Amino acid sequence: MDHIRELSRILGSNLITEREQKIPYMTDASYYEGDLPMAVAIPDTVDQVSAVMKYCQGNSVPVVARGGGTALTGSSIPMEDMLVISLAKFDRILEVHPEDRYAIVEPGVKLDNLNQHLQKYGFFYPPDPASSIAATVGGSISTNAGGLRASMYGTTKNWVLGLELVLPDGNKINTGGKVLKRTAGYDLTSLLVGAEGTLGIITKAIVKIWPLVESKGRILAYYDSIEKVGSAISDLKGKGITPLIAEFLDRITMHSLSQTRGLEFPETASHMLIIDIASTRESIGRELKDAEEILKKFNPISTEITTDKEEMDRIYEARKGAYSSLLSERSTMSERVVIGDIVVPASELPQALKESEEKVQKYNLTVALFGHISDGNIHANIYADIADQDHMKRVESFQHDFAMIAIMHGGSVSAEHGIGLEKKELLKMEMDETNNAYVMEIMKSIRKIFDPNGIMNRGKMFDQ
């Protein structure tokens, strides 16, 4: 069967077959390079997606769905002569219903564009991965993306009410709906969040939206040990305060932000805490003071409060761009920053960080540690020379040990970036180490029910 000819019949000019035009689809934001895809489909209707899937299922053509191409684990790159299905043309915000707290959007809408639109209504969609300028609704649902605001609002899974999905056989289904409560059988919507395109192609999403916070302020606190940082945040949360965002940065990250963004930090600070408090206009001052008093109990080098919007935006953008700032400090062109993404219960964080730092020493790597402290989510940003095999072996060993730290402390090997190619082995390790090998078997069975021919993002997440 001539796949290209048959797919051309369905897609017309929405099918890319020229080699040069296919090359840009071989990469996403990870350090993996995929294979040259067989072709790239850029459908503009759900019917086209259905027809393409029906053909691919019937002819065992492997497919990979692509959103914004911002995945950090290689989940959106093609392998083995795959057909790439780009959802870029599904870029419309279809409905916004502030009174019912939901919006209906197509998967190719970029998160920042969605929020820019929702702002007109005084609402927003909370998931905010650092790549929100380029990441799409569909892609972030497929990886269950988190972000800074997860401290208060949770990750993407908390914000998806319903999905329209084209199954591998081309049939279209709708899961969930427009309501904030629903207990109608198995929660298939939740199953599809974080599925990394292994179960079907998302063609529409009903997402929950929320009113913009009335007022917010920020506390910056600097400490000379990670234990103090961990104890401070634990006490803060223990006292019933839920920060809007709660971030920590280590010295390497602070240094790169001072180099690239001109931010200034106390010289003796080894770690920094960024705490945002959201409240009413009347209460924000008092609540910031209360929170600062708690942070002060743990002997910070200094603390400061700001409610100045420009200053807050500057720090927020700097933190969101921390990964980028680290990149600009690369010593060679072949060096990349590989991101570890573990999560532990927040109270375990100081110990997990201490153990992580020991592993950095053991493998003689340069690693910047920062993350979402309120969620216990640590990002280990490892400078990795992909041209140096020995170096990459040490990076791999560190990633293994780093993941093991998460498992030993009751956490997980992936907090918000997904599994993709990068964490396949780590996912297996987590299941084995936690005596949950059978859970992996259940996952495999579910995948097989949706995708009996194994055409959906083959080779990603886990092998069938």
Partner 1 sequence: MINDLVKELENEVGKCISCGFCESVCPTLPAAGYNLWKGARGRVILGKELLSTIKDKETINVSDSFYSCLDCQACLYVCPAGVNAGKVSHISKSIIASDTITGNQNPLAKMMARVTMRYMNPLGVREKCADWFKGMKADPDSNDLLYTGNMYQLMAYNKGMDSMRERMGKNLSEKMSSLVSTIPGLMKLTPVKRDEIIGQKMDKTLSNIALLLRKAGISFNYLGEAEPYPGTFIYDLGYLDLFEKYAKKIAKILKDSGAKRIITVDPHTYDLLKNVYPKYVDDFDLDIVHYLDLIDKSSFIGGSDSITYHEPCHFSLRDDAYNRPLETLKTVANVSLPARSGRRTKCCGGPDELIFPELTRKISEDRYRELQETKAEKIVTACPICFSNLNKGPEVIEIGDYLLSKLKN
Question: Residues in the site for partner 1, rule: CB under 8 A?
Answer: 13-14, 16, 18, 20-21, 23-29, 40, 42, 68-70, 86, 88-89, 91, 108, 110, 112, 116, 131, 133-134, 321, 323-325, 327-328, 333, 336-337
For the CB of residue 20, give the shortest distance to partner 1 in the complex, in Å. 5
What residue has token string 């899937």? 53
**With respect to partner 1, which residue has the nearer C-beta, 88 or 212?**
88
Map residue 437 onto helix, strand or coil: helix
Tell me whether strands 302-306 and 215-223 are parallel, antiparallel or unpaired: antiparallel
CB neighbours of residue 24 within 10 Å: 10
Do 430 and 424 form a contact (C-beta atoms < 8 A)? no
| Residue 302, token pair as written in the block | 């200094």
Smallest CA-to-CA distance from 73 within 445, 464, 432, 413 is with: 413
For the CB of residue 111, give the shortest distance to partner 1 in the complex, in Å. 10
Smallest CA-to-CA distance from 61 within 77, 40, 82, 80 is with: 82
**With respect to partner 1, which residue has the nearer C-beta, 86 or 377?**
86
The angle that helices 424-433 and 389-408 make with each other, rounded to 10 degrees, is: 30
- Integer Cα distance of 144 and 131 in angstroms: 13
Smallest CA-to-CA distance from 132 within 375, 274, 316, 381 is with: 316
For the CB of residue 197, give the shortest distance to partner 1 in the complex, in Å. 17
For the CB of residue 405, give the shortest distance to partner 1 in the complex, in Å. 26
**With respect to partner 1, which residue has the nearer C-beta, 132 or 231?**
132
CB neighbours of residue 201 within 10 Å: 27
Do 207 and 153 form a contact (C-beta atoms < 8 A)? no
Tell me whether strands 83-86 and 63-66 are parallel, antiparallel or unpaired: parallel
For the CB of residue 321, give the shortest distance to partner 1 in the complex, in Å. 6
For the CB of residue 401, give the shortest distance to partner 1 in the complex, in Å. 25
**With respect to partner 1, which residue has the nearer C-beta, 88 or 301?**
88
Reported as type and span, the H/E element at residue 458 is: none
**With respect to partner 1, which residue has the nearer C-beta, 347 or 366?**
366
**With respect to partner 1, which residue has the nearer C-beta, 131 or 151?**
131
**With respect to partner 1, which residue has the nearer C-beta, 212 or 386?**
386
| Residue 7, token pair as written in the block | 């797919």
For the CB of residue 14, give the shortest distance to partner 1 in the complex, in Å. 7
| Residue 424, token pair as written in the block | 């396949």
For the CB of residue 255, give the shortest distance to partner 1 in the complex, in Å. 17
**With respect to partner 1, which residue has the nearer C-beta, 71 or 346?**
71
Please give the single-letter amino acid code of residue 75. Answer: S
**With respect to partner 1, which residue has the nearer C-beta, 320 or 458?**
320
Do 172 and 202 form a contact (C-beta atoms < 8 A)? no
- Integer Cα distance of 383 and 406 in angstroms: 20
For the CB of residue 1, give the shortest distance to partner 1 in the complex, in Å. 25
